[in-house]
Structure 1
Amino acid sequence: MRVNQVPMLAILMTLLRDPNPTMRLLAATCVTNLYRAEVLADTQVVQELTVTVVPCLVKLFGEPGPTQEGACLVFAILVSDSEPMQQAAADASTIPALVDLVHRTAPSSSTSTNSSTAAQPDTPLGLDGADWYAERTARDRQHEAAFLALAAACAQCEPARRLVLESGVVKAVVKALRHSSAGVRAAAGQCTKSLSRSVKSLRTVLVDEGVAEPLCELLADTNPAVLVTAAAAICNLVLEFAPMKDTIVHHGGIAKLVYLVDWSSPTASPAEIAAVHVNAVWALKNLVYEAKLETKRAVMAALGYSRLHALMRTPNATVREQALNLVRNLVHGGDADVDDVVTGLGADRVVAAVVAALEDAAPGVAVQALYVVVNLAAGNDAHKDLVMRSDAIMRHVVAALGSPAADVQLGAVWAVINLTWPEESEAGTRVAALRAMGVERRLQEMANDQDAKVVDRVKAALMQMQMTLEL
């Protein structure tokens, strides 16, 4: 199907070329709304509209006032959560246009920044109400809109992120994190979040430009939208990036993130409060991922094991999942890493919490609990015995071997492998117990599984069990 075969779309395509900028913006808005509502499902129609709507909006970036601002916001909605659309936008030279717009809408140096933690008259980004929106200067609104468009343009598209990071605009992004307007701070935080998803070599640009300190400052902001984006950006930056972990710790990030775990505000909606909680726990989880024992201990000294236990039982399933993942990361490493958690929570409470999570109705929580078992089983004989002595845990491990989900199967197989290392003194006893539970038979049945990773680990587990019995 072609666009000219649909009367309404044909009219909108004509209006996208109207000499009046406002009319072009309205037409682009209509097309964008139809696209986001999935009314335009035909691939050819979407392609035709993309090559027309995106250039139209890019040209509107050059219009003055509300039209420019509206074009940025419509563009952000159009490309949001769509890597193909973001790639098409990058191919249409959108990134240079948005970078230029960020610079053109930036305030003068005398009015650009203020303390991010001070109370501001702004209302959180995205809340209803024309009054708070009107109170901000037109230039601030345009600057915010430019950042939101830039954030959306590279949220899922790595080539677009590369273009942004190589454009030199990161200095402006970092500066905007300390802007006097909460809306601009939140938008700059959103942009940082998008860029922080980049490959490790490119994320270095953010670190080199000093993004860590203003991000940590934003963790004490009064605006929920700012808190959500700042914590989300930190989530991405600290993952597999040891220097950033140290920098966040140095700037007091641990205490600020722990404070946000239970954060609340009378001006924030329940959804915003929940988002702050999730991102705070998520950031702490990533902070301890493959971290030094010193960093793990610093996090738990601030958070506390009782609080961690409460997070594993909170009504919010996403928080529960992140809390279990936090435990998973804490017990990954050496015997001392496992000992800290077992001592901090107590052996009985560790087992009870893991069993409850394995039985959780939320699949993500159960998967994380299974990998907590995997990491506990990688510890010394005492840690392995903690797993083996729990009939409930072992029932779930055996059942997981028959799961239709490959990641669940893989976790269960890894648990078996970690419990049966031949070099360990009690390995033979554990192998005999596992055989009595039917584990060996289950593994043999899995030897022809369709997932290559599962099959590879199954063969390793069977070989290891056999080697242990022969010793």
Structure 2
Amino acid sequence: MRAATPILSQLQSLESISEQVASLRALKNELIGHDQRKEAYVTGGIFPILAQVLALRRPGKAAAAESNRSSLSQATSNQGPGETQMSDETACLQAILIAGSLAQGGPTFLEPIFASGILFSLLTILSSADCPSTFSLPILRLLNTIADRLPLQSQEQGSRDTRLADLVLAPEPISALRRIVAQEYTTTRSQTCIELAASLVGKLCTEERHKTALAECGVLDALAVKIASFVVAQGFVLPGAEDHLQEPGALGDIPPPAPKAARLAPILRAVTVIIEQSKWRAEHFLSSPGIVTVFPKQVPGFASVDIKKGPWGSTYLSGSAVPRHHSGNPVDSLLPSVPLAHVKSSPSSANFPPLGHSGSQRRNSHSFPTPFSLAETPAPEEDENSIVPWLLCLIRMEGGMARLMAARLVTVLFRLGLAKKHRVPMFSYLLVPILIRMLDKDFQLPQENGSSEDGLITATQRSKEEAPAVLANLVMDDQELQRHAVEGGALKRLSQLLKETYNPVPESSRPMWYSDGDGPARDPESVPDDCRLGPPGYSPTLCHVMRYRENILKALAALVPFKDEYRKAVCENGVVPYIIDSLKPRPSDAPADAVSMPKNTAADGNPTPTLLAACGAARMLTRSVSVLRTSLIDAGVAQPLFVLIRHPDPEVQIAATAAICNLALDFSPMKEAIISADIIPTLCEHAHSSNIKLTIESLWALKHVVYNTPNDIKMTVVEALGPNWIRQVITQDPSVRRGMDDEIDQASGIAMGRANSAGEQVDILNPMDDLGESAEDFKMTDTMPPSKMSLDMFLPDARRRRRLVLHGNLEQSSQSRQDDIAVQEQTFDLLRNIICGGGANEMIDYLFKVLGQDELLNALASKLRPSTIQLPHRRESPSRALHVPNEILISASAMIIHIAAGLPKHRAVLMSHDELIQSLTNYFNHSHRDVRANCVWVVINLIYEEDQSDREGCRARATRLKSLGVTDMLESLREDSDLDIKERTKTAVHLLNQLLAQ
């Protein structure tokens, strides 16, 4: 162990606490800036020693610490209790600093840190009530150092590494984070601790369970108070806010202003990552005491002449009283006026035709995976919080990361429907140009200090890295914003930047030299885990390049989903080969040291997040017929996707399958390649996956594969999926789950922004309704005088906490419900495409045989029959009929259309079913035009006379349809608002009248 042996021997001997402290100090000084020494000490066993030192400081270890002290030398026993405690704390502090120094050595030191258990000891110390203030800062710095150096997710890891997040975001450490963030900006140390705690949340909070825990445990509310402090410091508190301080939900006092040196960016980042992709957490943030205090909701007032006084002194409103709404938010007056938005065009793509039948239009243009669907409709105009214009003012006033994080937060609020729709022009003229400017080569943050908070890359690099992701989220699914970004040169700049991410990466550091060859072995079997070095991982520069590439791909994908001209522009910029290169994963058999080499070629591959973004970009480009037939096929887009569909990470499989869906379309020249590459068995296997998203995408791809393919291919798909599995899917009733959720929503969720029994819209941010709990549940947990803020104020009160949990459960339940509907919808669409095209009659007979004629027709009939559920909590209404989801109605009726287009015997089978056609008659006047159109098409196909041999059958079916009242229903559709339905109805009426007149 060369130089490491003497100090390690001294630390292991534990002759006295003072000597231990001296040895730790000497070790700390020896390690700083010497990575070779760090490796030697790790392999020599420094982490078990540090873990032992830190374990003595953990709460509950006092007895063990006392026993250790009694075994020390006489010199130690002569120290007083105060000196002994001080020595213990000093030793612990030195151990924390040494661990932090080792962590700065890079990813190779993370594995022994995790294996040693010192992180658990550090978090236990941080969570204790008697944690010295001198410990909080170095512990937070150490945790941030580790978070900054976590390796990028790769093929070897499989899923994302959440070990640190699981430790830090456990219940007790979260309470410690809440305590740290909730403290006031009194000293430089407290300010730094607050910022480090917020930064840690921003770096680690990626999982849904962690975001929910941070909201429920009060960290989100504590962060909101910090934002309120900046609002106060900048003078943006709304006029008259002082009059609302004593209202329920407010702090009771205006928070003190944040000091001038305090940094806002970490606070905004932490809030953003917590509320992302959850409207309920975002509303929880907007209703937090800090935000409500500085931005109270403006209540419409009444003119003084409308307020009358009664004979006993009470006041009432005159009969002609009308509330006066405020002309606008006071903060809006500080923003510039912008031109009005142009009228938006239809989001449908002319070059993405429907397949066989006009299927569901639910699929949005999200080009990279999202845990939950984002809000589709904006909030009502009066529901926008004043924080939205304040963030826009910040974007104009601030510079650096604060500006970018303000842009990111306001974008998230806009995507969740919590910003007014009329903000789109302001985003177009104010926010989009700023984000595009950050893509310039010569862009530099003002007053650049040379490094960012992690010390690995510069602040300018960090902002350039994150700006494309903010731009992608902003323009997603909004053609007006996409147009402004493209006209501002975003496509050209992003294309150039994507090319540059494949330039050789300059490395300032050189590999360490070892006198005895290649240095310490990294994985000998006999070495304990806490003494074994991990893989070196990517260098900081290469990590930056990979994240930059990922976000650029996201931005390119978000800009081109609707316009074919934009997709062609991407190809003309020559980046398609680079997108294809980004689809290639890092080789799983690469040597451990290869990732740290300064190489950045396509052969070196990409981490998992980059693969997901590249799949999204490829999926958007494959929407174009011309691009698919030229640039993409020339670049060879299919082969890397065929590899990724078998990737070990399910998220990559989902993203690759979504892109393959477009390759499998009938006009695609790569459809034959999918069949010849033996992809069908993999898709069928994935359709049986426990991951519902993978099931949906696989069925979607198979639906395209079987359209207009030979019957033997179709039969292969049915056999691979399994007739029993298909029967099980199409016989399920997802509307029952939906009905139960709706009942739960109505029974216990009046505070969810829906109309109450009086038809009034209930305010979700300040509900005063009765949820069935006692009045005690609605009291704030804070019992201190309103003029003083305590830590308890940052723990959400019972009402807000219960509402957050309820909404979170309903959000997940709603997503599960939609997933169930989507699986059944795609399965029916798959069966519909199987009986399309040439050989359709043979395939109808085949499905009747393998699925069972009665079973299939009964399943179709059940889809047209409203379900009934029992409602045990509603005594006056023991059961309730549920409406069939539109998606199921459309797909099931389309299936009937194609069966009716078969042979006369197939039409006879449909008509002979007791309730199939009779149930269909309930939907001729359905609100959805596709359902009405399908009903008319069923009638046409049932009575269309292909030859004279079927004339009597057609006449019999026409008579039967008339007896079911179809003629009257068709008459009601003669003046339908949809032109296509009107024309199809004329055809159906003509055929019916012709047959009935014979």
Provide TM-score, normalisation by structure 1. 0.85
* The one of 388, 391, 404 aligned to 1:25: 404
Q: Percent identity?
A: 28
Please tell me whether residue 291 in structure 1 is matched to residue 717 in structure 2. Answer: no
Shift of 1:288: 1.8
Residue identity opposite 2:844 in structure 1? V
Matched, 1:49 2:427: yes
Evaluate the alpha carbon distance shift between residue 213 and residue 440 of structure 1 in structure 2; reply closer, same or farther with a 3 A threshold.
Answer: same
Q: Bigger CA drift: 407-416 or 147-156?
A: 147-156
Q: Which region of structure 1 is more displaced relative to structure 2, 203-212 or 458-467?
A: 203-212
2:824 corresponds, among 320, 330, 350, to 320
Structure 2 Cα separation of the partners of residues 186 and 447 of structure 1:
49
Rg larger in structure? 2
Moved more, 437-446 or 91-100: 437-446
Structure 2 contact 392–407 (Cα < 8 Å) conserved? no
1:202 aligned partner: 627
1:82–1:156: 8 Å Cα contact kept in structure 2? no
Deviation of 1:466 after TM superposition, in Å, equals 2.7
Report the CA distance between 1:416 and its aligned residue. 0.8
Distance 1:38 1:9 in 2: 16
Matches within 5 A, 1:59-70: 59-61=437-439, 62=441, 65-70=461-466
Moved over 6 A (4+): 132-136
- AA at the equivalent of 1:370: S
CA contact (8 A) 2:391 2:406 kept: no
Cα distance in structure 2, aligned partners of 1:14 and 1:238: 47
> What's 2:916 paired with?
393
2:941 aligned partner:
418
1:105 aligns with 2:501: yes
Tell me, yes or no, if the aligned pair for 1:150 and 1:191 is still in contact at 8 Å: yes
Task: Give the superposition deviation at 1:330.
Answer: 1.3
- After TM superposition, give the deviation of residue 100 of structure 1 in Å: 1.0
In the TM superposition, residue 156 of structure 1 has moved relative to its aligned partner by 3.5
Indicate conservation of the 8 Å contact 1:176/1:185, yes or no: yes
Match of 1:249 in 2: 675
State how far apart, in whole Å, the 2-side matches of 1:342 and 1:133 are.
57
Tell me by how many angstroms 1:107 deviates: 6.4
Distance in structure 2 (CA, Å) of the matches to 1:173 and 1:301: 36
Alignment counterpart, residue 343 of structure 1, candidates 834, 849, 853: 849
User: Is 2:686 the partner of 1:260?
Assistant: yes
- How far the C-alpha of 1:301 sits from its partner, in A, is 3.3
Distance 1:366 1:185, change over 3 A: same
Identify unmatched segments of 5+ residues in structure 1. 110-131, 265-272
1:63-87 deviation line (CA, Å, top 9, x unaligned): 5532211111111111122222112
Equivalent position to 1:311, from 726, 729, 746 = 729
- SS at structure 1 position matched to 2:669: helix
Structure 2 vs 1, CA of residues 170 and 311 (structure 1 numbering), >3 Å: closer, same or farther?
farther
- Candidates 649, 658, 662, aligned match of 1:223: 649
- Contact kept? 2:923, 2:932, Cα under 8 Å: yes
Question: What residue in structure 2 maps to residue 384 of structure 1?
Answer: 907
Query: Distance in 2 between the 1:377 and 1:338 partners?
Result: 10
Return 28-37 or 48-57, whichever deviates more: 28-37
Structure 2: gaps of 5 or more residues: 1-331, 338-385, 444-459, 506-536, 587-606, 735-819, 867-883
SS in structure 2 of the partner of residue 337 of structure 1: helix
Instruction: Find the aligned partners of 1:106 and 1:11 in 2 and give their Cα distance.
Output: 37
Structure 2 residue 415 is matched with structure 1 residue 36: yes
Q: Within 5 Å, which residues of 2 pair with 1:140-289?
A: 140-180=546-586, 181-198=607-624, 200-204=625-629, 205-264=631-690, 273-289=691-707
1:73 to 465, 469, 490: 469
Q: Which amino acid aligns with 1:253?
A: I
C-alpha contact 1:15 1:27 (8 A) present in aligned 2 = no
Q: CA deviation at 1:242?
A: 4.7
Deviation string 1:300-358 (CA, Å, 9 cap, x unpaired) is 23223222222324551110111111111112233123222222212111111211222
C-alpha distance in 1, partners of 2:931/2:956?
A: 25
For residue 85 of structure 1, what is the amino acid of its counterpart? Answer: L
Rounded to whole Å, the distance in 2 between the matches of 1:452 and 1:417 is 17
2:861 to 349, 355, 360: 355
CA contact (8 A) 1:332 1:338 kept: no
Q: Which moved more, 1:229-238 or 1:289-298?
A: 289-298
Structure 1 position 458, deviation (Å): 1.2
Q: Is the Cα contact below 8 Å between 1:12 and 1:31 reproduced in 2?
A: no
Q: Which has a greater percent of helix?
A: 1
Cα gap change, 1:15/1:253 in structure 2, threshold over 3 Å: closer, same or farther? farther
Contact in 1 for aligned 2:392/2:410 (Cα 8 Å): no
Letter in 2 for 1:224: P
Whole-Å separation in 1 of the counterparts to 2:681 and 2:832: 21
- Contact 1:148 / 1:187 at 8 angstroms: preserved in 2? yes
Between 351-360 and 34-43, report the one with greater CA deviation.
34-43
Q: Structure 1: how far apart are the matches of 2:538 and 2:964? A: 64
- Between 1 and 2, higher relative CO (CA 8 Å, sep ≥ 6) is seen in 2
1:401, 1:412 within 8 Å by CA — same for their partners in 2?
Answer: yes
Deviates more, 1:304-313 or 1:134-143: 134-143
What displacement does 1:95 show? 0.4
For the 8 Å contact 2:435–2:471, the answer to whether it is kept is yes
Aligned residues: 436
Q: How far apart are 1:29 and its partner, in Å?
A: 2.6
Which residue of the partner structure matches residue 120 of structure 2?
A: none
Shift of 1:278: 0.9
TM-score (ref. length: structure 2): 0.42
CA distance in 2, matches of 1:261, 1:308: 11
